[in-house]
């Protein structure tokens, strides 16, 4: 058997998320179906992690095993992307890997980006790829709040009730907030994330930026470690899995 890593770009708007579900179309399901048809054998695609319904990816990482050696990478990419036409999924690259490689368990760092359009007028070009917030956000306060999220902490406040992770402890390596022409990008870096963690943190940072919460309250809610104190999570459409490092 040969093992391959693929890098995938997708728009998650019309999908139930990455992972195969009993009902509804998923990214993993579509990829498995198309790669299996292309290689003429049953293929299982393992992703670096799940993305929720409506979440996008700039460079999701996954792997699969197959019986035959793929000799022509360019031919594979052209063929699979032909099969994925009109699916809003693109396979960006293919890399042969050793048997020890695992898209999920070998990952050292994951990078997520959240996009906010902070202006009066909504974006028609990027309607499903960003959160439109009309009220001017205080970026200085949001950056002060972001500093509170860095380090090894119990992130139970930001953990979905359906999250099945064994521990709420995670190490946030960095949180960076940038603003260009009223497009605010918030980048989060960690080895792994809890279910809905990023969207929940963005929702709380938004409350801070709007002046609904003080920095003192933001810090207190983080330390309380209770989900019921969390602000409403940011919508999925503004979230992108940006990159996975190994």
- Which residues are annotated as catalytic? 52
In the chain, helix, strand, coil percent, each to 5?
30, 30, 45
Taking the C-alpha atoms of residue 241 and residue 246, their distance in angstroms, rounded to an integer, is 15
Q: Which residue has the tokens 């390596």?
A: 173
Single out the residue of 220, 164, 215, 225 nearest to residue 192, CA to CA.
164
């Amino acid at each position: 058997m040969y093992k391959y890593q693929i890098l995938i770009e997708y728009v998650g708007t019309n999908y139930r998320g990455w992972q195969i579900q009993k009902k509804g179309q998923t990214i993993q399901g579509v990829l498995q179906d198309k790669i299996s048809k292309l290689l003429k054998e049953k293929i299982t695609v393992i992703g670096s992690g799940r993305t929720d319904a409506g979440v996008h990816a700039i460079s999701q990482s996954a792997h699969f095993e197959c019986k035959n050696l793929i000799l022509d990478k360019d031919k594979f990419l052209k063929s699979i992307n032909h099969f994925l036409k009109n699916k809003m999924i693109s396979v960006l690259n293919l890399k042969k890997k050793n048997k020890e490689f695992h898209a999920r368990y070998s990952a050292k760092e994951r990078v997520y980006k959240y996009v906010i359009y902070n202006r009066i007028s909504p974006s028609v070009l990027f309607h499903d790829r960003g959160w439109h917030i009309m009220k001017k956000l205080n970026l200085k306060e949001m950056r002060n709040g972001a500093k509170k999220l860095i380090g090894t902490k119990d992130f139970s406040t930001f953990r979905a009730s359906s999250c099945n992770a064994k521990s709420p402890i995670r190490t946030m390596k960095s949180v960076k907030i940038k603003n260009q022409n009223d497009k605010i990008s918030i980048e989060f870096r960690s080895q792994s994330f809890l279910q809905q963690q990023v969207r929940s943190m963005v929702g709380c940072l938004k409350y801070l930026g709007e002046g609904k919460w003080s920095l003192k309250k933001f810090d207190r809610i983080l330390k309380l470690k209770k989900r019921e104190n969390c602000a409403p999570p940011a919508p999925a459409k503004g979230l992108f899995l940006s990159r996975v490092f190994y």
